Amino acid sequence: MAKREIITLPDPLLRTVSKPVKTVDASTRKLMDDMLETMYDAPGIGLAAVQIGVPQRLVVIDTSKEDEEKQPLFLVNPEIVWSSEEEADYEEGCLSIPEFFDMVTRPKEIKVRYLDREGVEQERLCDGVLATCVQHEIDHLNGILFIDYISKLKRDRVVKKFTKAQKFARSGA
């Protein structure tokens, strides 16, 4: 496994729609292992491949608590096939938008269909923080960021802040 660099706002790759994975093979599993190590190190509970510069429909998630045994979830080509009408609010953050958090309203429960680490099709009913995380990561695969769910004013401020920070970092100041 190898830790990868997480790209951050305003990198245009974050707005890219990721391509489906054709086959789950050793290189796919190696990439997912790298993603998992990167996510744990960050630390985070979800990571989409596009966040490390690889626009493929791959997601890793682990919502286990620090004192619990790790329970990684590998989602290849995930798609939401059902979502509840009932909604829930969660404060979301993103490894590609560090140190910014805001409330987002999403369906409370979803059913996701995906290929697992071995390429076997699975379906899983998700609720709570897992439902929120799966939706957040699938949004990444579609070029959508959680800030797209907040007010335009807040979103514009966040984008401006990260764009300014990037320019400052590039200038070497």
Domain 12-166: CATH superfamily is Peptide deformylase (3.90.45.10)
**pLDDT band, very low/low/confident/very high, at 169 (cuts 50, 70, 90):** confident
pLDDT > 70? residue 29: yes
**pLDDT band, very low/low/confident/very high, at 173 (cuts 50, 70, 90):** low
Distance separating alpha carbons of residues 149 and 145, to the nearest angstrom? 8
Handedness of CA 15, 21, 22, 27 (dihedral sign): positive
78 vs 173, more confident: 78
Residue 172 has what pLDDT? 65
- H or E stretch including 134? helix 128-141
Residue 167 has what pLDDT? 80
* 137 catalytically annotated: yes
Q: Tell me the per-residue pLDDT of 99-144, one tens digit each, with 9 for 90 and over.
A: 999 999 999 999 999 999 999 999 999 999 999 999 999 999 999 9
With b for 16 or more beta-carbon neighbours within 10 A and e for fewer, the 4-37 pattern comes to bebbbbbbeebeeebeebeebeeebeebbbbbbb
Q: CA torsion, points 49, 52, 54, 60, in degrees to nearest 10?
A: -10
Which sequence spans correspond to the domains of the chain? Answer: 12-166
Cross-strand partners of 82:
111
Q: Tell me the per-residue pLDDT of 41-85, one tens digit each, with 9 for 90 and over.
A: 999 999 999 999 999 999 999 999 888 999 999 999 999 999 999
Helix (H, G, I), strand (E, B) or coil at 66: coil
Residue 2 has what pLDDT? 86
- Per-residue pLDDT averaged across 20-25, rounded? 98
Residue 66 has what pLDDT? 84
Model-wide pTM > 0.85: yes
- Per-residue pLDDT averaged across 11-35, rounded? 97
Distance separating alpha carbons of residues 24 and 121, to the nearest angstrom? 11
- Out of 37, 87, 91, 137, which one is annotated catalytic? 137
Residue 165 has what pLDDT? 85
